[in-house]
Protein backbone atom coordinates (compact mmCIF):
# COMPACT_ATOMS: atom_id res chain seq x y z
CA UNK A 1 0.00 0.00 0.00
CA UNK A 2 2.83 2.39 0.84
CA UNK A 3 4.26 2.04 -2.66
CA UNK A 4 1.00 3.05 -4.36
CA UNK A 5 0.46 5.87 -1.83
CA UNK A 6 3.97 7.14 -2.61
CA UNK A 7 3.23 7.11 -6.35
CA UNK A 8 -0.05 8.91 -5.78
CA UNK A 9 1.56 11.59 -3.61
CA UNK A 10 4.70 12.07 -5.74
CA UNK A 11 3.39 15.29 -7.36
CA UNK A 12 2.75 16.64 -3.85
CA UNK A 13 6.36 15.77 -2.95
CA UNK A 14 7.60 17.89 -5.87
CA UNK A 15 5.33 20.70 -4.79
CA UNK A 16 5.76 20.54 -1.02
CA UNK A 17 9.54 20.11 -0.82
CA UNK A 18 10.33 23.36 -2.67
CA UNK A 19 7.39 25.24 -1.13
CA UNK A 20 8.31 24.02 2.37
CA UNK A 21 11.92 24.99 1.68
CA UNK A 22 10.78 28.44 0.53
CA UNK A 23 8.99 28.83 3.87
CA UNK A 24 12.06 27.54 5.76
CA UNK A 25 14.42 29.94 3.98
CA UNK A 26 12.02 32.83 4.59
CA UNK A 27 11.71 31.84 8.24
CA UNK A 28 15.49 31.56 8.79
CA UNK A 29 16.36 34.81 7.00
CA UNK A 30 13.52 36.99 8.38
CA UNK A 31 13.43 35.78 11.98
CA UNK A 32 15.84 35.06 14.81
CA UNK A 33 14.40 31.79 16.11
CA UNK A 34 16.04 28.34 16.22
CA UNK A 35 15.91 26.46 12.87
CA UNK A 36 13.76 23.63 14.25
CA UNK A 37 10.86 26.00 14.90
CA UNK A 38 10.21 25.96 11.11
CA UNK A 39 9.56 22.18 10.89
CA UNK A 40 7.71 22.37 14.24
CA UNK A 41 5.26 24.79 12.59
CA UNK A 42 4.92 22.29 9.75
CA UNK A 43 4.00 19.62 12.30
CA UNK A 44 1.40 21.57 14.31
CA UNK A 45 0.00 24.09 11.76
CA UNK A 46 0.49 22.36 8.35
CA UNK A 47 -0.68 25.15 6.04
CA UNK A 48 1.38 26.44 3.09
CA UNK A 49 0.15 29.97 2.55
CA UNK A 50 -0.76 30.21 6.26
CA UNK A 51 2.79 29.54 7.43
CA UNK A 52 4.28 31.98 4.96
CA UNK A 53 1.84 34.60 6.26
CA UNK A 54 2.85 33.59 9.80
CA UNK A 55 6.45 34.64 9.10
CA UNK A 56 5.36 38.22 8.41
CA UNK A 57 3.04 38.19 11.44
CA UNK A 58 5.91 36.97 13.65
CA UNK A 59 8.25 39.61 12.22
CA UNK A 60 5.65 42.28 13.03
CA UNK A 61 5.11 40.92 16.58
CA UNK A 62 1.38 40.69 15.85
CA UNK A 63 -1.12 40.37 18.70
CA UNK A 64 -2.91 37.06 19.29
CA UNK A 65 -6.35 38.27 18.11
CA UNK A 66 -4.80 39.53 14.89
CA UNK A 67 -2.97 36.22 14.41
CA UNK A 68 -6.18 34.26 14.89
CA UNK A 69 -8.24 36.41 12.52
CA UNK A 70 -5.52 36.53 9.84
CA UNK A 71 -4.95 32.76 9.88
CA UNK A 72 -8.68 31.97 10.01
CA UNK A 73 -9.57 34.23 7.08
CA UNK A 74 -6.63 33.04 4.99
CA UNK A 75 -7.65 29.40 5.53
CA UNK A 76 -11.42 30.00 5.41
CA UNK A 77 -11.69 28.14 2.08
CA UNK A 78 -11.13 24.94 4.08
CA UNK A 79 -14.58 25.49 5.64
CA UNK A 80 -16.02 24.30 2.34
CA UNK A 81 -13.70 21.35 1.82
CA UNK A 82 -15.09 19.36 4.72
CA UNK A 83 -18.59 19.57 3.26
CA UNK A 84 -17.72 17.17 0.46
CA UNK A 85 -15.90 14.75 2.77
CA UNK A 86 -18.49 14.30 5.54
CA UNK A 87 -19.55 10.87 4.27
CA UNK A 88 -16.09 9.77 3.24
CA UNK A 89 -14.60 10.34 6.72
CA UNK A 90 -17.57 8.92 8.63
CA UNK A 91 -16.61 6.12 10.99
CA UNK A 92 -12.87 6.66 10.57
CA UNK A 93 -12.47 6.56 14.37
CA UNK A 94 -9.23 7.88 15.81
CA UNK A 95 -7.92 8.57 12.31
CA UNK A 96 -10.64 11.11 11.67
CA UNK A 97 -9.10 13.92 13.75
CA UNK A 98 -5.85 13.61 11.80
CA UNK A 99 -7.66 13.38 8.42
CA UNK A 100 -9.44 16.64 9.25
CA UNK A 101 -6.28 18.29 10.62
CA UNK A 102 -4.40 17.46 7.41
CA UNK A 103 -6.96 18.82 4.92
CA UNK A 104 -4.70 21.14 2.94
CA UNK A 105 -5.60 22.19 -0.63
CA UNK A 106 -3.38 19.44 -1.99
CA UNK A 107 -4.56 16.66 0.34
CA UNK A 108 -8.17 17.60 -0.37
CA UNK A 109 -7.44 17.48 -4.10
CA UNK A 110 -6.01 13.96 -3.89
CA UNK A 111 -8.67 12.59 -1.53
CA UNK A 112 -11.58 13.81 -3.64
CA UNK A 113 -10.06 12.82 -7.01
CA UNK A 114 -8.64 9.35 -6.52
CA UNK A 115 -10.68 6.26 -7.48
CA UNK A 116 -12.26 4.52 -4.47
CA UNK A 117 -13.27 0.93 -3.86
CA UNK A 118 -16.27 -0.27 -1.85
CA UNK A 119 -14.22 -1.11 1.30
CA UNK A 120 -14.59 2.12 3.26
CA UNK A 121 -12.25 1.19 6.14
CA UNK A 122 -9.47 0.30 3.69
CA UNK A 123 -9.98 3.52 1.72
CA UNK A 124 -9.82 5.53 4.96
CA UNK A 125 -6.50 3.85 5.78
CA UNK A 126 -5.23 4.92 2.35
CA UNK A 127 -6.57 8.48 2.95
CA UNK A 128 -4.76 8.52 6.30
CA UNK A 129 -1.44 7.49 4.75
CA UNK A 130 -1.81 9.99 1.90
CA UNK A 131 -2.27 12.75 4.51
CA UNK A 132 0.70 11.53 6.57
CA UNK A 133 2.99 11.25 3.50
CA UNK A 134 2.02 14.76 2.41
CA UNK A 135 2.71 16.21 5.85
CA UNK A 136 6.02 14.32 5.92
CA UNK A 137 7.13 15.99 2.66
CA UNK A 138 6.04 19.36 3.99
CA UNK A 139 7.88 19.04 7.32
CA UNK A 140 11.06 17.83 5.57
CA UNK A 141 10.85 20.81 3.20
CA UNK A 142 10.44 23.26 6.13
CA UNK A 143 13.45 21.71 7.92
CA UNK A 144 15.70 21.68 4.84
CA UNK A 145 14.86 25.28 3.98
CA UNK A 146 15.57 26.56 7.49
CA UNK A 147 18.82 24.53 7.74
CA UNK A 148 20.23 25.39 4.34
CA UNK A 149 18.85 28.96 4.26
CA UNK A 150 20.54 30.62 1.32
CA UNK A 151 23.08 27.88 0.51
CA UNK A 152 20.80 26.04 -1.94
CA UNK A 153 23.08 24.92 -4.80
CA UNK A 154 20.54 23.46 -7.29
CA UNK A 155 18.71 26.11 -9.28
CA UNK A 156 15.17 25.12 -8.42
CA UNK A 157 13.55 28.32 -9.69
CA UNK A 158 10.11 27.50 -11.02
CA UNK A 159 9.75 24.01 -9.52
CA UNK A 160 6.77 25.23 -7.50
CA UNK A 161 4.79 25.08 -10.78
CA UNK A 162 4.28 21.39 -9.91
CA UNK A 163 1.37 22.49 -7.69
CA UNK A 164 -0.27 24.46 -10.53
CA UNK A 165 0.21 21.49 -12.85
CA UNK A 166 -1.35 19.22 -10.23
CA UNK A 167 -4.41 21.46 -9.93
CA UNK A 168 -4.79 21.44 -13.75
CA UNK A 169 -4.52 17.63 -13.91
CA UNK A 170 -7.03 17.21 -11.10
CA UNK A 171 -9.45 19.62 -12.80
CA UNK A 172 -9.32 17.42 -15.92
CA UNK A 173 -9.82 14.28 -13.80
CA UNK A 174 -12.79 15.84 -11.98
CA UNK A 175 -14.26 16.86 -15.32
CA UNK A 176 -13.93 13.33 -16.72
CA UNK A 177 -15.38 11.75 -13.56
CA UNK A 178 -18.34 14.15 -13.42
CA UNK A 179 -19.09 14.34 -17.16
CA UNK A 180 -20.40 17.88 -16.63
CA UNK A 181 -18.26 20.93 -17.35
CA UNK A 182 -20.52 23.41 -15.52
CA UNK A 183 -18.56 23.46 -12.20
CA UNK A 184 -15.24 23.86 -14.04
CA UNK A 185 -16.43 26.95 -15.92
CA UNK A 186 -18.03 28.22 -12.72
CA UNK A 187 -14.76 27.84 -10.79
CA UNK A 188 -12.67 29.49 -13.51
CA UNK A 189 -15.14 32.37 -13.91
CA UNK A 190 -15.37 32.92 -10.14
CA UNK A 191 -11.56 32.98 -9.94
CA UNK A 192 -11.44 35.52 -12.79
CA UNK A 193 -14.03 37.76 -11.10
CA UNK A 194 -12.25 37.55 -7.72
CA UNK A 195 -8.86 38.34 -9.28
CA UNK A 196 -10.28 41.45 -10.95
CA UNK A 197 -12.26 42.68 -7.96
CA UNK A 198 -10.14 41.72 -4.93
CA UNK A 199 -6.55 42.11 -3.66
CA UNK A 200 -4.46 38.87 -3.82
CA UNK A 201 -4.90 38.10 -0.12
CA UNK A 202 -8.70 37.76 -0.49
CA UNK A 203 -8.97 36.22 -3.96
CA UNK A 204 -9.21 32.55 -2.93
CA UNK A 205 -11.86 33.06 -0.28
CA UNK A 206 -13.73 35.50 -2.54
CA UNK A 207 -13.79 33.03 -5.43
CA UNK A 208 -14.91 30.20 -3.15
CA UNK A 209 -17.70 32.37 -1.72
CA UNK A 210 -18.90 33.15 -5.30
CA UNK A 211 -18.78 29.45 -6.26
CA UNK A 212 -20.74 28.43 -3.16
CA UNK A 213 -23.36 31.15 -3.64
CA UNK A 214 -23.94 30.16 -7.28
CA UNK A 215 -24.11 26.46 -6.39
CA UNK A 216 -26.79 27.33 -3.82
CA UNK A 217 -28.79 29.16 -6.50
CA UNK A 218 -28.22 26.24 -8.89
CA UNK A 219 -29.51 23.86 -6.20
CA UNK A 220 -32.63 25.96 -5.63
CA UNK A 221 -33.35 26.03 -9.37
CA UNK A 222 -32.95 22.25 -9.73
CA UNK A 223 -35.11 21.62 -6.66
CA UNK A 224 -37.72 24.10 -7.92
CA UNK A 225 -37.88 22.28 -11.26
CA UNK A 226 -38.11 18.86 -9.58
CA UNK A 227 -40.93 19.88 -7.26
CA UNK A 228 -42.97 21.50 -10.08
CA UNK A 229 -42.44 18.38 -12.23
CA UNK A 230 -43.58 16.36 -9.24
CA UNK A 231 -46.78 18.39 -9.08
CA UNK A 232 -47.40 17.87 -12.80
CA UNK A 233 -46.91 14.12 -12.36
CA UNK A 234 -49.30 14.03 -9.41
CA UNK A 235 -51.89 16.18 -11.26
Partner 1 sequence: MAETTYLAAFIAVAAIATFATRVIPFLFFERHTEHPLIQHLGRYLPAAVMALLATVFLQRSGTWSADLPGFDALIPGLLVVAVHLWRRNALLSIAAGTASYMVIQQTGVF
Stretch that binds partner 1, among 78-86, 115-123, 128-136, 142-150 (CB under 8 A): 78-86
- Using CB under 8 A as the binding rule, whether residue 219 contacts partner 1 is answered as yes
Q: Mention every residue, 6+ apart, whose C-beta is less than 8 A from residue 193.
A: 206, 207, 210
Among 55, 83, 51, 38, CA closest to 211? 83
What are the phi and psi torsion angles at 94 (to 5°)? -65, -20
Phi, psi torsion values for 76, nearest 5 degrees: -60, -20
Report the distance separating Cα 14 and Cα 64, nearest Å.
33
**Binding-site string for partner 1 from residue 119 to residue 148, where x marks contact by CB under 8 A and - marks none:** ------------------------------
Does position 25 interact with partner 1 (CB under 8 A)? The reply is no
> In this chain, which of 78, 116, 120, 202 binds partner 1, going by CB under 8 A?
78
Nearer to partner 1, 108 or 137 (CB): 108
Q: Does 105 bind partner 1 (CB under 8 A)?
A: yes
Residue 209 touches partner 1, criterion: CB under 8 A:
no
Cα 90 to chain centroid distance, Å, stands at 20
Q: Can residue 68 be called a binding residue for partner 1 (CB under 8 A)?
A: yes
Regarding 195 and contact with partner 1 (CB under 8 A), the answer is yes
CA distance 208 to 167: 15
Is residue 212 a contact point for partner 1 (CB under 8 A)?
A: yes
Q: Among 116, 132, 148, 203, which residue interacts with partner 1 (rule: CB under 8 A)? A: 203
Residue placing its CB nearer to partner 1 in the complex, 103 or 139: 103
Chain positions 146 to 185 lying near partner 1, rule: CB under 8 A, are: 155-175, 178, 182-185
Residues numbered 30-59 forming contacts with partner 1, rule: CB under 8 A? 33, 37, 40-41, 44-47, 50-51, 54, 57-58
Select 122 or 161, whichever has its Cβ closest to partner 1. Answer: 161
As a whole number of angstroms, the distance between CA 100 and CA 78 comes to: 10
Query: What one-character DSSP code corresponds to residue 157?
Result: T
- Enclosing H/E stretch for 182: helix 182-197
CB of 51 to partner 1, least distance (A): 8
DSSP for 206-229 reads HHHHHHHHHHHHHHHHHHHHHHHH
The number of beta carbons lying within 10 Å of the beta carbon of residue 43 is: 12
Q: In the chain, how many H helices and how many E strands?
A: 12, 0
User: Between residues 144 and 166, which has the closer beta carbon with respect to partner 1?
Assistant: 166
190 lies in the binding site for partner 1 (CB under 8 A): yes
CB of 231 to partner 1, least distance (A): 18
* 208 binds partner 1 per the rule CB under 8 A: yes
Amino acid sequence: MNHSVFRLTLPILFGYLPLGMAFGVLFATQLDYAWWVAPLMGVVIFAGAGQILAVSLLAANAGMVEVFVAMFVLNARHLFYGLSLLGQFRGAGWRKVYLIFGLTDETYSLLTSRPRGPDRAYEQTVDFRITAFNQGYWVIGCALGALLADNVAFNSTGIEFALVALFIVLTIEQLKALGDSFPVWLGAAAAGAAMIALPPAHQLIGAIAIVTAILLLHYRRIRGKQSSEGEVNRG
